[in-house]
Amino acid sequence: MDVFWEAPPVSRTITALALVESLLYYSETLSFYNVVFLRGKLFKALPEVWRLVTPFLLTGWSFDFLFDLYFMYHYGSSLEIGSPRFSQPGDFFVYLIFVACTILVSAGLWLQSFIFTQALILAFAHTYAQDNRGKKVKFFVLQIPVLWLPWAILTMTLVRSGWGPVKTQFTGIIASHLYDFLTRIYPTFGGGKNYIFTPAWVRRYIFRHTPDAARRAYGRAYRPSRPADPQPEPDSGTRGWTSSQDLGSWGTRGSGRRLG
């Protein structure tokens, strides 16, 4: 359990929920009809609001069950604790809400799809690829440029399942690219304002549940000691998800002393 609680809070939560929902479904405890996205069940007098969440948590069967859980956690946690664009607690959570809403509109309302788990995973993979330009990644037995990763996943889906699942999965790339455009490209190169920000209460909540030690493949990395509660930034209502300055290892240095 220590490993679970030391994992990034948002990634560990959605992966655990996906594990539980999938086990309940494949053990025939939970009905497929009760977890998929059905537009008619939302737009009624008593809307079944859980259908806004459950379509993102149902994995595939057999080996897909393991791969979906692994990729969800791997790319999610890599972004949550390793991406410079998610430098503050809660930034990744708001990113997750944004891409999920985009997938709901594009895959659910437009394409009338039922399950969005792999679209969400592909959104994670696309953002991960954008953050690691110039690097290579191992895709099964092949070493490929990381920017090819989302397209390799789509190609694999096309070979195995056909065009229908590919169209649904592609909405994850749309969601990831739209996030990147609104938070980085347009504000930086178009002179616009980044209207997507992390509310202060989200920062405080995620901060309290972020572990002080994060496990990595090469060991354990400890964060520097932090105050009891993060202080809201000035004009936090207009700051974007990527507005915090990343100072790297120098961000925790003291004021320094003169030598000699």
Residues 47-58: tens digit of each pLDDT? 999 999 999 999
Q: Which tokens hold the place of 241? A: 């998800």
Q: Provide the whole-model pTM.
A: 0.80
Task: Measure the CA–CA gap between 151 and 135, rounded to whole angstroms.
Answer: 16
How many CB atoms within 10 Å of residue 113?
22
List phi, psi (to 5°) of 215.
-75, 140
Pairing verdict, β 213-216 and 219-222: antiparallel
Q: Is the dihedral of CA 59, 178, 85, 51 positive or negative?
A: negative
Per-residue confidence (pLDDT) for residue 230, from 0 to 100: 47
Task: Measure the CA–CA gap between 105 and 102, rounded to whole angstroms.
Answer: 5
pLDDT tens, residue order, the chain (260 aa): 777 888 899 999 999 999 999 999 999 999 999 999 999 999 888 999 999 999 999 999 888 999 999 999 999 999 999 899 998 989 999 999 999 999 999 999 999 999 999 999 999 999 999 999 999 998 888 899 999 999 999 999 999 989 999 999 999 999 999 999 999 999 988 888 888 999 999 999 998 877 754 444 333 443 444 444 444 444 433 333 333 333 333 334 344 444 44
Evaluate whether 3 touches 11 at the Cβ level (below 8 Å).
no
Shortest CA distance to 95 belongs to which of 127, 50, 119?
127
How many CB atoms within 10 Å of residue 154?
20
Q: Domains of the chain, with CATH numbers? A: 7-212 (1.20.1540.10)
Relative orientation angle of helices 163-180 and 91-103, to the nearest 10 degrees: 140
Evaluate whether 80 touches 214 at the Cβ level (below 8 Å).
no
